[in-house]
Amino acid sequence: MSESKLWFLFIVAALILLVFLGIHLGYMHLDNILGVNDPLDYNNVKTRGQDTFWLVSYLILLVAALYHGMYGLRTILLEYFPQNLKFINGLIGIIGFLALVLGSYVVIYSYIGG
Amino acid sequence: MKVRFKIWRYDPAKDVQPYFQDYTFDVKEGMTVLDCLYYIKENIDATLAFRASCRMGICGSCAMYINKKPRLACETQALSLGTDVIEIAPLPNYKNIKDLVPDLTPLFEKHKNVKPYVIPENEQEFINPTGEYSQTPAELEEYLQFAYCIKCGACLAACPTVGTTPDFPGPQALAQAYRYNADNRDFGEKERKVQVDNPKGLWRCHMAGACAEACPKGVDPALAIQLFKRSFFFTGRKPKARLIPLNKEKPARGGIKAPEPTV
């Protein structure tokens, strides 16, 4: 994929983050204002995990945050090691993929009642 | 006012390492840093090497690192720096040839790589012109500020990305690529985009904005880079420059006569 497309996705991911991170932070930290009953309570976390809206939201948030973060990390690493493009691309790809698998596993496992 | 000049000295033929040499003398009001350098060369130390030409901020030859900032020596008033110690070094991010003379080869190579000239739609028209291309003031405004670049190299000296990635085209070349892309007589946008759309190209700029601060001519290369990035995804319809055939359009009777064609 060309650099311009990678950068474009990075910006798109940022816009997605604005929305979904906003929802996440709002729900978690404005609980008193929104009238949410203790969002960190075990039963509430479990109920939320089994809700399709939260499943989709968290998966989108996960993909967007991972892509945005990994692209940023790649840029920083390339700044320090400009000659190691292939190695950095590989490293970022592997770390990103593993984090995606782990994150998806947690979200989906919660959804199916784990 | 007595001013102490700390000047970078380096002669690759005899010096292992560069060092700073001090020169102290009375600086009169109105003297630029370039005037001071000439004063040193003519009255104190004839071996001092620096590059200068027009003395009026047009040629860009005398860009130097004056008190830790890239500036044109001919446009910097020595007393306006507000200190009695002035440190002068060659521009960073370039190889040092001698004393205050940087090797600007990478600047010109990078500039050349982005095809900094109008690439015509019809090559024949540029070889054997049959008329002039008209451009409205609004169309001129699209690129005018970027056309003020004098290629002094100050922006590359200020750019942190050039400091870590010497292959990065840098603000000067990228701004000039955008300048020609924004020109409605030009049809070379695709070629220039191919040239910079790589891991060490346009996307390495992380908007430190130091280039815009450093430019002695008020050009904003950081803005050009952002507009260039945007043009990859939001390509507005560029109005084509109109070709006015020579001697075909006569001014209206009693109207103001247009200037003579230049081609």
| pLDDT, tens only, B81-108 | 999 999 999 999 999 999 999 999 999 9
Q: Is B239 in a helix, a strand, or coil?
A: coil
Task: Specify which of B126-130, B173-177, B181-185 reaches the highest per-range mean pLDDT.
Answer: B173-177
Would you state the pLDDT for residue B116?
96
B60 torsion bin: left (phi>0), alpha (psi -120 to 50), beta (else): left
Across residues B5-33, what is the average pLDDT?
96
pLDDT higher than threshold 90 for residue A28:
no
Helices (H), chain A: 3-29, 31-34, 42-49, 52-80, 85-111
B18, with CB counted inside 10 A (0-12, 13-18, 19+), is middle
Across residues B234-244, what is the average pLDDT?
78
Spatial contact of A95 and A70, defined as CB atoms under 8 Å apart:
yes
Would you state the pLDDT for residue A48?
85
Would you state the pLDDT for residue A42?
85
Q: For A64-100, what is each residue's pLDDT tens digit? A: 999 999 999 999 998 888 888 899 999 999 999 999 9
Contact A2 B200 (CB under 8 A): no
B7, with CB counted inside 10 A (0-12, 13-18, 19+), is buried
| CB < 8 Å to B202, chain A | 3-4
B250 confidence band (pLDDT: 50, 70, 90): low
Share the mean pLDDT of chain B. 91
Question: Least CA distance to B160: which residue of chain A?
Answer: A79
Would you state the pLDDT for residue B261?
66
Question: Least CA distance to A72: which residue of chain B?
Answer: B206
Distances in Å between the alpha carbon of B256 and those of B243, B251, B259, B261, B263?
20, 7, 9, 15, 20
| CB < 8 Å to A82, chain B | 164-165, 167, 200
Residue (of A22, A90, A101) closest to A63 by Cα position = A101
Say which CATH number the domain at A7 has.
1.20.1300
pLDDT higher than threshold 60 for residue B248:
no
Spatial contact of B86 and B66, defined as CB atoms under 8 Å apart:
yes
Residue indicated by tokens 């700029």: B205
The nearest CA of chain A is from the CA of B198 a distance in Å of: 6
Task: Specify which of A30-44, B99-113, B181-195 reaches the highest per-range mean pLDDT.
Answer: B99-113
The two three-digit tokens of residue B9, written as one number: 């000295």
| CB < 8 Å to B206, chain A | 75, 79
Contact A7 B229 (CB under 8 A): yes
Torsional sign, CA B56, B60, B66, B69: positive
The two three-digit tokens of residue B66, written as one number: 């004056």
Domains and CATH numbers, chain B: 2-102 (3.10.20.30), 104-245 (1.10.1060.10)
CA angle B157, B4, B53 (to 5 degrees): 50
Which tops the pLDDT comparison, B133 or B117? B117
- Per the structure, the count of domains in chain A is 1
Q: For B212-238, what is each residue's pLDDT tens digit? A: 999 999 999 999 999 999 999 887 777
> Which residue segment(s) compose the domain that A24 sits in?
3-112
Q: Which of A105-114, B2-11, B56-65, B239-248 has the lowest mean pLDDT?
A: B239-248
Q: H or E stretch including B243?
A: strand B242-245
β-pairing, B2-9 with B85-89?
parallel
Q: H or E stretch including B231?
A: helix B221-231
Rg of chain B on CA atoms, in Å: 22
Across residues A101-106, what is the average pLDDT?
95
Q: Using CB atoms, which residue from B164, B198, B229 is nearest to A79? A: B164
CA–CA dist A88, B236 (Å, integer): 35
pTM of the model as a whole: 0.84
Spatial contact of B60 and B70, defined as CB atoms under 8 Å apart:
no
> How large is the ipTM?
0.74
pLDDT higher than threshold 60 for residue B122:
yes
Q: Which residues contact B46 (CB under 8 A, 6 or more apart)?
A: none
